[in-house]
Chains A and B, each alone.
Chain A
């Protein structure tokens, strides 16, 4: 019996792979698949009263979601905020990574460490420090007031969409830096020289060679920022105010204060589906874009 098992094991790569993966698989089933199954089933129930849930399956919660214009607009706002955050992060991180990958000759690691240094502090602390910077009596406003540039504190800085965007952009920048840097660093410089040699200007070389070759990193960065920021609820809760509220804050409320677990579960499922759809679209279009560019 043991011998037979051993034979199977040594012959089958799949068996080896599964046995190596089993601890991770077990964990994923425990903390991902089971909760997700629970979420899906709860989204088909009905909250009858505070303590009572009707377990008859229904799709009414999903209909409820789209009938509540607040939820739909919060979903759109969540996607919009994450989209802007992703875009700003990409536009700021890409040139930095490009510089480190191609122009820094010595101590590249030091540059990367310095860039990621702020991210060694907790996410929560960083969100709070933005509160100190952007608040009515914050660093930003007092400086402008003291310099006489403004006579009254700028209020849009705090408890607004802008505040959420600024904070999220800063909070996730490091996660964009690394995939972008790796994909740029991997590009053999002789590709760039070859393109120059074949008559392309520096600008054209970027769009025809460097950028297409760095696309895996760009896609990685997009997904790594977009996916967590869509669902972020710490930042909007702490510095978003009512203006900067996102769908995740509402979902939290359904599971807490409002106590409508089925509607909360349905909202979460819709959000998850949206993220998966957007991820698929991004991957597909960037692939098409690569082919188009070349």
Chain B
């Protein structure tokens, strides 16, 4: 398996004064399901379009399977794309859409027929050959777009938010299906999305982007457990930020003063220097608890609940801790709808999974 199947070397793309992609370098492995995740305007789509050849980089070069594709037009690249709006040609039917990309490959009629039949079976669209785009549902259109790209057997499949237009239930189904399909055919997928849950559930690795730069590139569970900066910590899942400052180091750990809470010893994965005041602790909802009685967790504080809003797996509390208003999000498991006398409660924090992060 080629570790550096797609190489992105110092790629920048400027539109006037806007640096859509700003000096980005990384590699994607062969056969990997790779996601580019970030809020809108973070440069993820531009990066995908650079790979497809719809845009050319201002700086840097791109390699796929060892050959430089930086200057190649889209039709000469070993990539195919599934567009956000699917771009199913409306003037031709499903079969003609799928055959559209095959005419230039120099295949015989038998080979074309076999490929079309195979890909239709793969995306479960047999019997829809004669339909036109207007006669298909969103999910079916998505399958046609997928089939049309896959039938060319590209080295890399690029997907630009392909599930964005589908409703929640169908999206969940398609996530699983896409993932299974990708493992089955073994083609490298580069998947662009703004939906963190989607990226986390489908990908082998995720690159979180913001302001044209890669904020963190790692396996999905790492993004959640060990975020490398405040942006990633905030963007992936729910979290609570607590202002802090560092004191002296103690091996893998470091002594910190958390504002309004006191001095504690926490993990220092990111090797944050001593005596820095620009740090925050990121506490995930499952590392927090709200209870009526005092607990034996690392931190336990008395607080007054002003308001609660139930979010399903999480509950948000608007509390007052020693006269200061705070909003905290707690895993609903750690809160059993207990009644609180005079709205008084205890907030407990486990320091086990706390992440210490540096402010920018």
Contact = CB atoms under 8 A, between A and B. Distances in A.
A198 B91 contact: no
Interface residues of B, number: 26
A52 interface: no
Most buried by B among A197, A201, A213: A197
Interface string B63-91: 00000000001110001110111010111
Given A188-B85, A191-B89, A198 B54 contact: no
B318 interface: no
B152 A194 contact: no
Interface in B254-272: none
B54 A193 contact: yes
A19 to B, nearest CB: 32
Q: Interface SS of chain A: helix, strand, loop or mixed?
A: helix
Interface in A178-224: 188, 190-191, 193-201, 208-209, 212-213
A203 to B, nearest CB: 11
Given A212-B91, A290-B91, A294-B92, A196 B83 contact: no
A199 B75 contact: yes
A190 B83 contact: yes
Interface stretch (B35-43, B100-108, B112-120, B213-221): B100-108
Contacts, number: 61
B73 A213 contact: no
A199 B91 contact: no
Nearest to A192: B87
Contacts of A213: 90-91
A198 B157 CA distance: 12
A201 B101 CA distance: 11
A198 B152 contact: yes
B284 interface: no
Given A209-B89, A213-B90, A213-B91, A195 B100 contact: yes
Contacts of A193: 52, 54, 74, 81, 83, 87
A256 B79 CA distance: 71
Contacts of B92: 294
Interface of A: 188, 190-191, 193-201, 208-209, 212-213, 290, 294
Given A193-B81, A193-B83, 6 more contacts: A193-B54, A194-B89, A197-B81, A198-B75, A199-B75, A213-B90
Closest 10 CB pairs of A and B: A198-B101, A194-B87, A190-B87, A199-B104, A196-B74, A294-B92, A199-B75, A197-B81, A190-B83, A197-B74
